[in-house]
């Protein structure tokens, strides 16, 4: 029997696996006990006696030319050792991810209040804390721009002069002919939607501990979502080869995308200090530093026009998406691409014209956050769908089902979906299970009294992997020791989502056939092969393809060895849950099999690289391949609105997901629940308040409120439609972001249903809702 | 988050005399009770002090007692103790309701009633009920004891009538028969949050006539306030919906709210009206 090493063959083999031992089960996470007992270690827990402390000095002006950075007063304290600025960077200061517009430390200009200017290092936190306040910027103030619509038009004030405009980036999608589409429409709805920033509020603010060694190598333990990107940035900043940089992401106290943007920067700033001082340095952000400086969910203005015909079919959409990018593009172009690609919602639309603009302002930059540009555009798209349905006299669910993408449909970019489109079935089931029709009617008829009930629906789609043809891959390395224990090396990090501590272990145990407690995952390290980032819901969906390939290779070697050794067919070999059966006579344990394999020279180490096949996208034409697969979700939300105070309470949430194979139902459930609560916070209460100088006023958790258990509604068990993805591990697609994406739209639709009034601007704070319901009070 | 407090000297006196002496002798020293306000302010450098005098283990400052005609609450009594006290639930249900709306269980196990009052935040939740009860605050300094009526205690934004080196010793509330009470608090989320507006009402209704009423609010002025004009509207009148609306309108006219990160002044004024209506309806027994 030949050994199978080909990734596609291996992926396909496990895609169709049926009776599984651990896959598809709610296996307990390996990190739950450590975390419950407080033993799990986070960056700060690696601090040792004698290490140095560092904090950032932040800019206190929104837009200014830097004349001088004066830190002489900070250095008066003998315990303060050094203050590093852009001048001290041995390599490159330029760290922009998408376009080269962003310095690691401000150089020449300051472009937002809170921008990192210097790294202050001292022997104890007290001295560093006071020294930070003694770093002064001598500046020439420049006029600042805060409104993206204004910034787009202004040519006289330029945030990045060399660009000649404040538009950092543009995107577009074109399909059919929108003029013709609208001419066929019997109803047209046109609105402008506005969405706001969101702060991540991860429990653990950013930190990095940089430890230099005698050979000029640097190890950085950091709050980071992509160790290999950190390695690249640190190497660039220090001017050292990547091979000299090692990044470790220990347990991370939440990321939600924020540590994908800020992680490499915090690592590089700590490394810069350690590099010069030749001593370990812990750089930590206070909560206030964190909120002031790190990128946020984008604020948007979305102009949306859509039309449908009397028979309930969408005929055209025309959408303009404007992202307030803040001072730097950061990941803005990628976020904008995702918003642009998803502008239609998961519907078949024959004619589409979508334009995106990423616009600089003098505010904190936009950045990665669960949903990545998609929640705002789905909010617009799904608000439109409800209004079209109303004009057509159709039930919102019915209207959506009428237009839903199916296998064989083409999306607005012209990509034909060949498989894995379970959303139609998911919404149908959800509507039945949630008693949608009955409640929708009941609440419509009861629009009287102080508290009004409403029920709303929203669906969403989210492309797996990066947009367009941007390369994406998976990788891992697996090694089996002589005693049968297994090490899995992955760059995927553990930031609460649990992929390395649950699904990765399950996949390896299932494929190798070893007991799950034999599997130890070494995660979040550049000692593993580059696995890509832990973002975009990819920790399992894409991140673990490499694990399937590596484990599949070793399994195949073991089977091939057994078949030759005992002279049997593959079908006669069973390796499952630690028990090995060959033919009908031979039975041995997993450990015995490993010992035997070692003694006969079987290679029990393997890597598993897989490069995702993609099509091409023509940026100029706005057409082509968008994503290798889409995850889907439908959500039905019930709310109660107190019209005397404007308070909205989410009572119940019913989710239905089409996310391919579910590897660990409990892990999925926790992601869904967390995203729903985070979505409620974003939609109902979270809001950054900016002062006239661009400073974030509510940079602490007294003033920036996030939801608590009081706001947590009844969350029904999710309905799953297992629409397997050809390349996903056992057919899994991404889930981490999914439940966030439709929440703003679902809540807004439910509130509109309760009140009979449409609100097009988020968040739905009591104050905003009351400004509408006051008229209803009479 | 590596976020150490600035270096300070820390004292934990066992007696009030010693505490007062320490406060007098050490420059730039400050009382700490539960620390749930003060430590946050010190971490963000809103408050900078050299020494802290921890009064939480002084026996004279602790405890809740029924003295017959009066209830005495030691200033360093923890909020959770108030909730769990029979004396409080039987005699001061309005205070209990307000304290139940405060912070979380963890916070309430550290935070003290004296800290809440002396911090003098416009949003302090124990203030409206104590203003409504017409409580008296006993304070002690090197000159000895003095009594400050609750309505004279808050003198300005985050300012009290305490002299430097004075300590709030205890709170005294005269027992009285109230037929109804209500605490209605609106925050930016369902709980664990400071108020946007809160309204406390005590009422004595006999045969449908309001014999006495007290209305107090927080977060609508530089200090927690009584709504005296609205009380006048209600006192001596027969309970009715129109009376409640008139009173609530008067409340809305009496408040002087500001815009801040929690709310606009417009919304605060509107909510003073809505919440006063709710609180009055409940306390007057028409809800
Ligand atoms: C998470 C959180 C939630 C909160 N929620 C609420 C809420 O819902 N409602 C609310 O009103 N507050 C709330 N607070 C604020 C705070 O908990 C309360 O104000 C608390 O009662 C303060 O008491 P303390 O003992 O902790 O005061 P401390 O912080 O110890 O002291 C506060 C101030 O009072 C002074 N002081 C304390 N005791 C005395 C005394 N006996 N004599 C003279 N001066 C004294 C101190 O010097 C200091 O200036 C919250 C705080 C946190 C951190």
DSSP B94-130: HHHHHHHTSS-HHHHTT-BHHHHHHHT-TT-SSHHHH
DSSP A141-172: E------HHHHHH-SSS-SSGGGSSSEEEEEE
C-alpha distances (whole Å) from A466 to each of A627, A690, A769 are 7, 32, 37
Rounded (10°) CA dihedral A457, A461, A462, A463 = 180
Q: Give the Å distance between the CA of B90 and the centre of ligand 1.
A: 25
pLDDT at A33 (0 to 100)? 96
Q: How far is A682 from chain B (nearest CA, A)?
A: 12
Ligand 1 geometric centre to CA of B123 (Å): 11
Ligand 1 centroid–CA B130 distance in Å is 16
Asked if A546 and A478 count as a contact pair (C-beta separation under 8 A), the reply is: no
**pLDDT for A691 beyond 60:** yes
Kind and range of the H or E element at A362?
none
For residue B3, pLDDT beyond 80? no
DSSP A203-217: SS--EEEEEE-TTS-
H/E/C letters for each residue in A247-266? EECCCCCCCCCHHHHHHHHH
Nearest residue to B267 (alpha-carbon basis) of B277, B276, B257: B257
Written as six digits, the tokens of B257 are: 């709210």
Question: Average pLDDT, stretch A731-738?
Answer: 98
Give yes or no for residue B43 having a pLDDT over 90: no
Tell me what pLDDT residue A2 has. 87
CA dist., res. A526 & res. A94, Å (int) = 22
Residue A105 has pLDDT above 60, yes or no: yes
Residue A710 CB neighbours (<10 A): 12
- The ipTM assigned to this model is 0.95
- Residue B206 tokens read as 């006999």
Contact A705 B189 (CB under 8 A): yes
pLDDT at B15: 97
Mean pLDDT in residue range A517-542: 97
Query: Dihedral of CA B28/B33/B39/B41: which sign?
Result: negative
State the distance between the two ends of chain B, measured CA to CA, in whole angstroms: 48
Q: Answer yes or no: do A288 and B274 touch at CB < 8 A.
A: no
CB A18 within 8 A of CB A197: no
What is the per-residue pLDDT across A569-624, written as a single tens digit (0 to 9) for each?
Answer: 999 999 999 999 999 989 999 999 999 999 999 999 999 999 999 999 999 999 99
Residue B142 shares a structural domain with residue B196? no
Nearest to B264 among A126, A698, A767 (CB): A767
Q: Is residue B264 situated within a structural domain?
A: yes
Minimal Cα–Cα distance from A766 to chain B, Å?
8
What's the token pair of residue A423? 């959303």
Could you identify the atom of ligand 1 that is nearest to the CA of residue B108? 17
pLDDT digits (tens, 9 = 90+) for A299-315: 999 999 999 999 999 99
Confidence of residue B287 (pLDDT cuts 50, 70, 90): low
Q: Are residues B56 and B95 in contact, defined by beta-carbon separation less than 8 angstroms? A: no
Cis-peptide into A763, omega within 30 deg: yes
- Give residue-wise pLDDT tens across range A339-398: 999 999 999 999 999 999 999 999 999 999 999 999 999 999 999 999 999 999 999 999
Residues of chain B contacting residue A204, judged by C-beta atoms under 8 Å apart: 1
Contact A659, A729 (CB under 8 A): no
How far is residue A757's CA from residue A755's CA, in Å, rounded to a whole number? 5
What pLDDT band is residue B1 in, cutting at 50, 70 and 90?
A: low
Residue at token pair 């250095």: A75
> Quick check: B267 and A767 CB within 8 A?
yes
- Cβ pair B239, B214 in contact under 8 A: no
Give the pocket of ligand 1 (CB within 6 Å).
Answer: B 30-38, 40, 55, 75, 102-103, 107, 110-112, 114-116, 118-119, 123-125, 162, 167-168, 194
Q: What is the mean pLDDT of chain A?
A: 97
pLDDT above 70: residue A64: yes
- Looking at residue A139, what is its pLDDT? 97
Q: Which residue out of A290, A641, A766 would a mutagenesis test of the B interface target, given it has the greatest number of B Cβ atoms within 10 Å?
A: A766
Q: What percent of chain B has pLDDT over 70?
A: 98
Q: What is the pLDDT of residues A467-497, one digit of tens each?
A: 998 999 999 999 999 999 999 999 999 999 9
Q: Which of A460, A525, A469 is nearest to A734 (CA)?
A: A460
Q: Do A711 and B189 touch (CB under 8 A)?
A: yes
- Give residue A18's pLDDT: 84
Query: How sure is the predictor about A214, in pLDDT bands with cuts at 50, 70 and 90?
Result: confident
Which of B192, B194, B274 is the closest to A644 by Cβ?
B274
CA distance B188 to chain A (A): 7
Residue A436 near residue A636, CB atoms below 8 Å:
yes
The partner residues of A638 in beta bridges, in order of sequence, read A455, A652
**CA B144 – ligand 1 centroid, Å:** 24
Predicted confidence (pLDDT) per residue in A395-443, tens digit: 999 999 999 999 999 999 999 999 999 999 999 999 999 999 999 999 9
Under 8 Å CB-to-CB from A487, ≥6 apart: which residues?
A: A478, A479, A480, A481, A520, A521, A522
- CATH code of the domain in which B127 resides: 3.30.465.10
Nearest to A684 by CA among B190, B270, B273: B190
The verdict on residue B256 lying in a domain is: yes
Residue B228 in tokens: 């005296």
In CATH terms, is domain A299-467+619-777 a member of 3.30.365.10? Answer: yes
Run of H or E residues at A43: none
Can you give A363-424 as a three-state secondary structure string?
CCCECCCCCCCHHHHHHHHHHHHHHHHHHHCCCHHHHHHHHECCCCCECCCCCECCCCCCHH
Residue of B nearest to A285 (CA): B1
Tell me which of B101, B124, B188, B266 to substitute to probe the interface with A (most A C-beta atoms closer than 10 Å).
B188
Pick the CATH number of A7-37+473-611 from 3.40.50.2300, 3.30.365.10, 3.40.50.2020, 3.40.960.10: 3.30.365.10
| Residue-wise DSSP of A480-531 | E-TTS-EEEE-S---SSS-TTTTHHHHHHHHHH---GGGEEEE-SBTTS---
Pick the residue of A125, A205, A253, A281 with the most B CBs within 10 A to test the interface with B by mutation.
A125
Core vs surface per residue A719-745: b (16+ CB within 10 A) or e: bbbbbbbbbbbbbbbbbbbbbbbbbbb
d(CA A237, CA A226): 17
Q: How many Å apart are CA A386 and CA A403, to the nearest integer?
A: 13
How distant is the Cα of A70 from the closest Cα of chain B, in angstroms? 22
Helix axes A545-566, A503-512, angle to 10 degrees: 20
Q: Report the domain count for chain B.
A: 3
Q: Quick one: which atom of ligand 1 is closest to the CA of B47?
A: 49
Examine residue B3 and state whether it is found in any structural domain, yes or no: no
Mean pLDDT of A698-702: 95
Per-residue model confidence as pLDDT tens digits over B129-149: 999 999 999 999 999 999 999
Residue A457 pLDDT more than 90?
Answer: yes
B157 to A64, B38, B46, B160, B231: CA distances (angstroms): 35, 16, 15, 9, 24
- pLDDT, position A777: 86
How many C-beta neighbours within 10 Å does residue A90 have? 11
Rounded to an integer, what distance in angstroms lies between the CA atom of residue A778 and that of residue B91? 39
Q: Which two tokens stand for residue A19?
A: 């009776």
User: Which tokens hold the place of B178?
Assistant: 């109230």
Instruction: State the maximum Cα–Cα separation within chain A, in Å, rounded to a whole number.
Output: 87
Residues near A319 by beta carbon (within 8 Å), at least 6 away in sequence: A302, A303, A304, A305, A343, A352, A353, A354, A355, A377, A380
What pLDDT shows up at residue A216?
86
The distance of B43 to chain A (nearest Cα, Å) reads 10
Give the CATH number of the domain where residue B42 resides. Answer: 3.30.43.10
Q: What does the pLDDT look like over A113-141, one tens digit per residue?
A: 999 999 999 999 989 999 999 999 999 99
* Mean pLDDT computed over A194-208: 98
Could you state, in order of their start, the residue ranges of all structural domains in chain A?
7-37+473-611, 43-142+206-284, 299-467+619-777
- The answer to whether the CB of A271 falls within 8 A of the CB of A210 is yes
Which residue is closest to B40 within chain A, CA to CA? A702
* E strand intervals along B37-179: 51-54, 64-66, 70-74, 136-141, 144-149, 154-156, 159-160, 167-174
- CATH number of A43-142+206-284: 1.10.510.10, 3.30.450.40, 3.30.365.10, 3.90.1170.50? 3.90.1170.50
In the structure, how many helices (H) and strands (E) does chain A have?
20, 31
Q: Is A705 on the interface with B (CB under 8 A)?
A: yes
B204 lies in a domain?
yes
**A50 Cβ neighbours under 8 A, 6+ residues apart:** A279, A280
For residue A522, name the pLDDT band (cuts at 50, 70, 90). very high
Q: Quote the domain boundaries for residue B67.
A: 59-173
Distance between CA atoms of A688 and A114, rounded to whole angstroms?
A: 14
Residue B4 is assigned to a structural domain of this protein: no
Is A170 exposed, middle or buried (CB count within 10 Å of its CB: 0-12, 13-18, 19+)? Answer: middle
Domain boundary among B173, B204, B220: B173
Q: Using alpha carbons, select from B200, B182, B55, B188 the residue that is nearest to residue B125.
A: B200
Looking at ligand 1, which atom is closest to the CA of residue B118? 34
* Nearest in space to A262 (alpha carbons), one of A367, A356, A165, A145: A367
d(CA A306, CA A409): 19
**Which single residue is written with the structure tokens 């046109």?**
A190
Summarize pLDDT for B154-206 with one digit per residue, the tens: 999 999 999 999 999 999 999 999 999 999 999 999 889 999 999 999 999 99
Burial class of residue A758, CB neighbours in 10 A (0-12, 13-18, 19+): middle
The tokens describing A631, both together, are: 């995850």
CB B221 within 8 A of CB B269: no
Distance CA A294, CA A626 (A): 29
Task: Let me know whether B85 and B164 are in one domain.
Answer: yes
């Amino acid at each position: 029997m030949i050994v199978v090493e080909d990734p596609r063959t291996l992926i396909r083999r496990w895609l169709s696996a049926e009776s599984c031992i651990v896959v598809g089960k709610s296996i307990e996470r390996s990190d739950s006990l450590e975390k419950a007992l407080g033993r799990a270690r986070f960056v700060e827990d690696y601090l040792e006696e004698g290490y140095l402390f560092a904090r950032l000095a932040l800019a206190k002006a929104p837009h200014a030319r830097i004349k001088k950075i004066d830190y002489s007063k900070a250095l008066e304290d003998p315990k303060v050792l050094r203050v590093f600025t852009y001048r001290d960077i041995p390599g490159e200061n330029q760290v922009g991810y998408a376009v080269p517009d962003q310095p690691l430390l401000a150089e020449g200009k300051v472009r937002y209040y809170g921008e990192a200017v210097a790294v202050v290092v001292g022997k104890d936190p007290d001295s560093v804390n006071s020294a930070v306040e003694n770093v002064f910027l001598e500046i020439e103030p420049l006029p600042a721009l805060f409104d993206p619509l204004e910034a787009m038009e202004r040519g006289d004030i330029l945030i990045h002069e060399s660009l000649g405009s404040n538009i950092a980036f543009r995107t577009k999608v074109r399909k059919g002919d929108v003029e013709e589409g609208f001419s066929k429409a019997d109803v047209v709805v046109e609105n402008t939607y506005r969405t706001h920033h969101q702060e991540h509020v991860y429990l653990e603010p950013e930190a990095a501990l940089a430890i230099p060694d005698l050979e000029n190598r640097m190890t950085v333990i950091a709050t980071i979502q992509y160790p290999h990107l950190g390695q690249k940035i640190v190497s660039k900043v220090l001017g050292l080869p990547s091979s000299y940089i090692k990044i470790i992401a220990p347990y991370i106290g939440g990321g939600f995308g924020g540590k994908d943007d800020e992680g490499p920067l915090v690592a590089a700033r700590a490394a810069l200090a350690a590099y010069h001082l030749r001593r370990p340095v812990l750089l930590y952000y206070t909560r206030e530093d964190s909120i002031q400086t790190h990128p946020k969910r984008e604020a948007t203005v979305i102009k949306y026009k859509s039309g449908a015909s009397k028979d309930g079919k969408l005929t055209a959409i025309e959408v303009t998406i404007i992202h307030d990018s803040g001072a730097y593009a950061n990941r803005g172009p990628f976020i904008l691409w995702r918003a642009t690609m998803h502008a239609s919602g998961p519907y078949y639309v024959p004619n589409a014209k979508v334009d995106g603009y990423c616009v600089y302002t003098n505010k904190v930059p936009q950045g990665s956050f669960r949903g990545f540009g998609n929640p705002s555009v789905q909010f617009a798209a799904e608000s439109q769908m409800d209004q079209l349905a109303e004009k057509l006299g159709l039930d919102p669910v019915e209207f959506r089902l009428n237009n839903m993408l199916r296998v064989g449909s083409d999306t607005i970019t012209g990509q034909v979906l060949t498989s894995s489109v379970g959303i139609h079935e998911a919404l149908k089931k959800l509507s039945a299970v949630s008693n949608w029709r009955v409640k929708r009617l009941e609440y419509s008829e009861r629009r009287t009294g102080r508290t009004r009930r409403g029920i709303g629906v929203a669906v969403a789609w989210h492309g797996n992997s990066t947009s367009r043809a941007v390369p994406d891959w998976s990788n891992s390395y697996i090694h089996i020791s002589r005693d049968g224990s297994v090490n899995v090396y992955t760059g995927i990090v553990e930031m609460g989502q649990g992929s390395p501590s649950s699904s990765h272990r399950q996949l390896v145990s299932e494929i190798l056939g070893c007991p799950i407690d034999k599997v130890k995952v070494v995660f979040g390290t550049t000692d593993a092969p580059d696995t890509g980032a832990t973002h975009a819901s990819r920790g399992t969906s894409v991140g673990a393809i490499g694990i399937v390939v590596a484990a599949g290779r070793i399994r195949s070697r073991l089977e091939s060895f057994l078949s030759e050794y005992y002279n049997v067919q593959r079908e006669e070999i069973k390796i499952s849950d630690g028990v090995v059966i060959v033919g009908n006579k031979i039975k041995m344990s997993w450990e015995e099999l490993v010992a035997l394999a070692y003694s006969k020279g079987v290679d029990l180490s393997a890597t598993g690289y897989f490069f995702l096949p993609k099509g091409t996208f023509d940026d100029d034409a706005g057409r082509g391949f968008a994503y290798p697969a889409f995850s889907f979700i439908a959500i039905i939300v019930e709310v109660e609105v107190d019209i005397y105070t404007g308070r909205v309470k989410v009572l119940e949430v019913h989710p239905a997901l089409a996310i391919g194979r579910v590897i660990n139902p409990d892990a999925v459930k926790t992601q869904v629940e967390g995203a729903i609560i985070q979505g409620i916070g974003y939609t109902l209460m979270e809001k950054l308040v900016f002062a006239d100088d661009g400073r974030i006023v509510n940079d602490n958790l007294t003033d920036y409120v996030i939801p608590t258990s009081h706001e947590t509604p009844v969350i029904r068990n999710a309905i799953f439609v297992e629409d397997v993805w050809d390349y996903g591990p056992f057919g899994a697609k991404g889930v981490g972001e999914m439940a966030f994406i439709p929440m703003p739209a679902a809540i807004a639709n439910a509130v509109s249903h309760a009140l009979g009034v449409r609100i097009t601007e988020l968040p739905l704070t009591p104050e905003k809702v009351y400004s509408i319901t006051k008229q209803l009070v009479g | 988050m590596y976020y150490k407090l600035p270096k300070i000297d820390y004292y934990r006196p066992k007696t009030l005399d010693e505490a007062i002496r320490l406060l007098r002798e050490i420059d730039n020293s400050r009382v700490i009770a539960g620390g749930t306000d003060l430590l946050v302010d010190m971490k963000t450098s809103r408050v900078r002090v050299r020494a802290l005098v921890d009064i939480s283990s002084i026996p004279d400052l602790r405890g809740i007692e029924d003295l017959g005609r009066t209830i005495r609450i030691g200033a360093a009594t923890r909020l959770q103790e108030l909730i769990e006290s029979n004396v409080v639930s039987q005699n001061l249900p309005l205070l209990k309701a307000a304290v139940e709306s405060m912070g979380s269980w963890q916070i309430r196990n550290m935070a003290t009633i004296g800290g809440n009052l002396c911090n003098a935040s416009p949003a302090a939740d124990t203030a409206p009920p104590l203003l409504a009860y017409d409580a008296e605050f006993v304070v002690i300094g090197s000159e000895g004891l003095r009594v400050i009526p609750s309505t004279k205690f808050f003198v300005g934004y985050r300012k009290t009538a305490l002299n430097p080196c004075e300590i709030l010793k205890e709170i005294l509330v005269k027992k009285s028969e109230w037929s109804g009470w209500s605490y209605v608090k609106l925050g930016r989320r369902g709980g664990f949050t400071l108020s946007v507006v809160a309204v406390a009402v005590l009422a004595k209704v006999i045969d449908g006539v309001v014999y006495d009423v007290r209305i107090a609010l927080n977060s609508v002025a530089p200090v927690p306030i009584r709504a005296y004009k609205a009380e006048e509207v209600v006192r001596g009148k027969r309970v009715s919906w129109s009376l409640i609306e008139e009173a609530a309108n008067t409340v809305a006219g009496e408040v002087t709210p500001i815009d801040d990160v929690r709310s606009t002044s417009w919304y605060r004024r509107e909510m003073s009206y809505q919440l006063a209506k709710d609180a009055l309806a409940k306390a007057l027994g028409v809800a």
